[in-house]
A and B are shown apart, each in its own frame.
Chain A
């Protein structure tokens, strides 16, 4: 069965610092991979997705993620974090033949001024 692991429950960074959120997946083939962001009291918003092709994908709000097949990882990065990036971030995986998403447990990002 597919699964997603986000090993960091809570991360704190200073505004302007770089950010990397980790995500590992378990799946026999190359899945579809996603990062979503959830602000307090809001629904989930898609940041970026990987289906195939270039393993470095660009998303909204200056985020990017890199698919590494050898490590079964899809880490999210941002070179300079803004205070408005404070939120919860979810990595998700879906088999290629279905829209059914399996989510990780999320990483809560706190940004200090």
Chain B
């Protein structure tokens, strides 16, 4: 089992650019989560899906953020336009039987 796979691992972009982060959950896991980690705010839940359907997106900061899960094996988190305050590590996690498994994260730097 390859675990939860995230790409890219590192992204450096300029303010105003579109950023797309990708996640492949563990096969058979029916829930998928996007978290953001910063020094100031710690780990924040942005959105989570169950059976590909968004269940709770109350943590999505603003309309610049969007997330999709077109099928059980793929999800994206998009930021458009990006801002320096979006710089963080973004984690994807998938779960089965109430246990989350995390990916290695995508470190985003917006200049």
* Contacts of A40-99 to chain B: CB distance below 8 A: 42-46, 49, 51, 90, 94, 99
User: With A99-B95, A100-B56 known to touch, is A43 a contact of B42 (CB < 8 Å)?
Assistant: no
- Is B31 a contact partner of A43 (Cβ separation < 8 A)? no
Per the bound structure, the CA–CA distance linking A42 and B100 in Å amounts to 15
Q: Please count how many residues in chain B sit with their CB below 8 Å of the partner chain's CB atoms.
A: 20
* Contacts of B74-111 to chain A: CB distance below 8 A: 91, 93, 95, 98-105
* Contacts of B22-40 to chain A: CB distance below 8 A: 31, 33
Nearest A residue to B92 via CB reads: A43
- Is A99 a contact partner of B100 (Cβ separation < 8 A)? yes
Q: Which residues of A contact B (CB under 8 A)?
A: 32, 34, 36, 42-46, 49, 51, 90, 94, 99-106
- Is A42 a contact partner of B48 (Cβ separation < 8 A)? no
User: With A99-B48, A103-B42 known to touch, is A51 a contact of B98 (CB < 8 Å)?
Assistant: yes
Nearest B residue to A32 via CB reads: B98
- Cβ-based interface call for B12 (8 A): no
Residues of B within 8 A of A32 (CB): 98
User: With A42-B104, A43-B91, A43-B104 known to touch, is A102 a contact of B98 (CB < 8 Å)?
Assistant: no
